[in-house]
């Protein structure tokens, strides 16, 4: 296990260097010039040339990349073209909001998805099963921006129970809890649906397995059969889905952040891509990629904990 972790960490470094290269080149090759965006339509040719010089964009691209890489090795993510602030600082301000939102929506998806999936599997083909699978299908299909807007109209504007938007405290504080409810449900619905479907199919497979029949034959109580024998074994694919979802949520909170006016990393990325703020996009992608890879590693570790048969050595 330990050797596996070390091996994966070494892989990670090379993977991330590769990512910086791809993102750097993609941003520079893609159409759109940061200087003309900063200058806007009013800029003259001279204005644009001067801005390019200030940003260092007049240098050869390979020199710019090596410069960037050198900064990275010294822990410097660079300075935003747009705001003149350090990229690390800009991301650092927003990261807690995105993590807050992602964690809260994973909790929502687990709280809704797993029970729904278990009930569905146990009461297969009953009206409960039809209800839960239809709701799951709906949950996957409904677009976030629509669901968010509807939630705002019902619970914030009409009933006035919850704030319209903003996130200024961690979700376990009273203010943060009130602020996170709607965004977390909006974002969590899709992954709850996915978790429910995954739990259902995994449970159905396990319920029919020989060892479950043996357990029942031995006279083990039905509750113990479900919770101990079935659920634990059914959890492996479910954990994979939740883990991948969480990584996806960190990068995919953009729409929810837009609708609920949450100052998160997703929104920062969209703004930075539109503004061709190269250092900011590179920093953001690097961060999201790192988190994604680390989460995958954690998921693999959790596998081993859930299923003792899995041995990476």
Q: CB atoms < 10 A from the CB of 233, how many?
A: 17
Task: Report how far residue 124's alpha carbon sits from residue 87's, in angstroms, rounded to the nearest whole number.
Answer: 51
Evaluate whether 131 touches 120 at the Cβ level (below 8 Å): no
What's the min distance (Å) between Cβ of 71 and other proteins? 19
The percent helix, strand, coil of the chain (3-state, each to 5) is 75, 0, 20
Evaluate whether 87 touches 278 at the Cβ level (below 8 Å): no
**Who's near 214: CB < 8 A, 6+ residues apart?**
none
Single residue of 74, 125, 208, 219 touching other proteins by CB under 8 A = 125
> Which residue lies nearer to other proteins by CB, 131 or 303?
131
What's the min distance (Å) between Cβ of 93 and other proteins? 5
258 binds other proteins (CB under 8 A): yes
134 binds other proteins (CB under 8 A): yes
> Which residue lies nearer to other proteins by CB, 239 or 256?
256
214 binds other proteins (CB under 8 A): no
37 binds other proteins (CB under 8 A): yes
What's the min distance (Å) between Cβ of 72 and other proteins? 22
Evaluate whether 295 touches 247 at the Cβ level (below 8 Å): yes
- State whether the Cα torsion 228-297-106-141 is positive or negative: negative
Task: Report how far residue 121's alpha carbon sits from residue 203's, in angstroms, rounded to the nearest whole number.
Answer: 6
240 binds other proteins (CB under 8 A): no
138 binds other proteins (CB under 8 A): yes
171 binds other proteins (CB under 8 A): no
List of residues contacting other proteins (CB under 8 A) = 30-33, 36-48, 50-51, 53-55, 82-85, 89-90, 93-94, 125-131, 134-135, 138, 145, 149-150, 152-154, 156-158, 160, 163-166, 168, 257-261, 263, 267-268, 271, 274-276
């Amino acid at each position: 296990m330990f050797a596996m972790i070390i091996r994966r960490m070494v892989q990670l470094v090379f993977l991330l260097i590769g990512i910086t290269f791809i993102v750097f080149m993609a941003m520079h090759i893609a159409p759109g010039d940061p200087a003309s965006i900063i200058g806007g339509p009013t800029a003259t040719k001279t204005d644009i040339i001067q801005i390019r010089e200030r940003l260092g964009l007049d240098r050869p691209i390979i020199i710019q990349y090596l410069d960037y890489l050198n900064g990275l090795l010294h822990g410097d993510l660079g300075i935003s073209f747009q705001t003149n602030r350090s990229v690390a600082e800009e991301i650092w301000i927003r990261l807690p909001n995105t993590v807050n939102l992602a964690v809260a929506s994973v909790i929502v998806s687990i709280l809704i998805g797993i029970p729904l999936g278990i009930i569905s599997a146990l009461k297969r083909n009953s009206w409960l099963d039809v209800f839960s699978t239809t709701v799951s299908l709906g949950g996957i299909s409904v677009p976030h921006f629509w669901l968010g807007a509807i939630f705002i109209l019902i619970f914030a504007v009409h009933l006035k129970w919850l704030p319209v938007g903003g996130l200024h405290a961690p979700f376990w504080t009273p203010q943060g809890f009130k602020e996170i409810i709607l965004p977390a449900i909006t974002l969590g619905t899709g992954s709850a649906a996915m978790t429910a479907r995954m739990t259902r199919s995994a449970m159905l497979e396990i319920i029919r397995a020989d060892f479950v029949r043996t357990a029942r034959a031995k006279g083990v109580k039905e509750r113990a059969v479900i919770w101990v024998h079935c659920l634990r074994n059914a959890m492996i694919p479910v954990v994979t889905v939740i883990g991948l979802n969480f990584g996806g949520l960190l990068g995919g909170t953009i729409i929810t952040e837009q609708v609920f006016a949450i100052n998160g990393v997703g929104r920062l990325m969209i703004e930075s891509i539109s503004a061709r703020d190269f250092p900011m996009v590179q920093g953001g992608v690097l961060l999201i990629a790192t988190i994604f890879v680390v989460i995958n590693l954690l998921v693999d570790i959790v596998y081993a904990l859930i299923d003792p048969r899995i041995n990476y050595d």
